[in-house]
Amino acid sequence: MSKQSLKIQSRVDWLKFLEALSRINNTAIVKVTGSNTLTSLVASPDNNLILYSEINNIESTISTTLNIPDVSKLIRVIEGINTDSIELILNNNNIEYKDNNIKFKYHLFDDGFLSSPSINIDKILQIKCDVEFNLTKQLLNTIIKGSSFATDTNKVYIFTEDGVLKAELTDRSKHNTDMYSISLGPAEHNIAPIILSIDNIRLLSCISDSVKFSINTDYSVNVVDISNNSTKLKYILASLTQ
């Protein structure tokens, strides 16, 4: 019987994939598909943030499901590997690795122990968005840093004003709330205020220099796409009320 294995071409990209999952939920179901792609769908505990992620620079001898009980623990052991590419042995209930320097065996949950978020990701992927804009990683970090000043709120308002896209941290439903605003650049659309959680913004993994926001204003669906050459992260963020 041939060895069942998973070969990952880039250990760094594999770590970025896992770290993105761990920010949202520390348990995850990772599917190994026949198209040599890993995919995962995780949600935050309150289900206000959902992440669909995939990585495609892998080679696998089988299609299977990895039920990971502690993503952070797996990250720590993978960080100890020094090679650029790694080959994991997929056993019945564990992942095994060994080279000339280290070896480990990481046990998985049985199928059915974990459950995926109750969302039809295919429908989300097919939704057409009427508003799109890109932000640099630097601008996104500036918004996050602004939350250290606007500490009385968890809301960030995204809107246009005089042809400029803006982000404003405040709470317009309350009096005497501190406010921090930043201009994000020229706007191609007129956008009525969309309210997002700054906590959810902090959980985005900026694996590239550009972040794409797509919004369907009819259904209040907010999608954030972040990708590099091999890894794609698609976040679905819930809108907050005024």
Smallest Cα–Cα separation from 109: which of 90, 95, 93?
93
Question: What domain count does the chain have?
Answer: 2
- What's the confidence (pLDDT) of residue 2? 53
The shares of helix, strand and coil residues in the chain, as percent rounded to the nearest 5, are 20, 40, 40
**Is beta strand 64-68 parallel, antiparallel or unpaired with respect to 58-60?**
unpaired
Do residues 207 and 108 share a domain?
no
Do residues 193 and 90 share a domain?
no
Q: Which domain holds residue 169?
A: 128-237
Do residues 135 and 194 share a domain?
yes
Do residues 49 and 142 share a domain?
no
Do residues 158 and 95 share a domain?
no
Decide if 152 is inside a domain: yes
Sign of CA dihedral 150, 155, 161, 166: positive
CA dihedral 147, 148, 151, 156 (to 10 degrees): 0
Do residues 105 and 167 share a domain?
no
Residue that terminates a domain, selected from 68, 97, 119: 119
Cβ burial, residue 37 (10 Å; 0-12/13-18/19+): middle
Do residues 32 and 109 share a domain?
yes
Decide if 242 is inside a domain: no
Decide if 58 is inside a domain: yes
Decide if 196 is inside a domain: yes
- What's the confidence (pLDDT) of residue 1? 40
Do residues 79 and 175 share a domain?
no
CATH number at residue 14: 3.10.150.10
Do residues 154 and 221 share a domain?
yes
- Which residues are bridge partners to 165 per DSSP? 160, 185
Residue that terminates a domain, selected from 76, 102, 119: 119
- Grouping H, G, I as helix, E, B as strand and the rest as coil, residue 171 is coil
Residue that terminates a domain, selected from 65, 88, 119: 119
Do residues 112 and 132 share a domain?
no
Do residues 156 and 105 share a domain?
no
HSE-CB of 35 using CA atoms within 13 angstroms: 7
Q: For residue 58, what is the DSSP state? A: E
pLDDT in tens, the chain (242 residues): 457 899 999 999 999 999 999 999 999 999 998 778 999 999 998 889 999 999 998 998 889 999 999 999 999 999 999 999 999 999 989 999 999 999 999 999 999 999 988 888 888 888 888 899 999 999 999 999 999 999 999 999 999 999 999 999 999 999 999 999 999 999 988 899 999 999 999 999 999 999 999 998 887 889 999 999 899 999 999 899 87
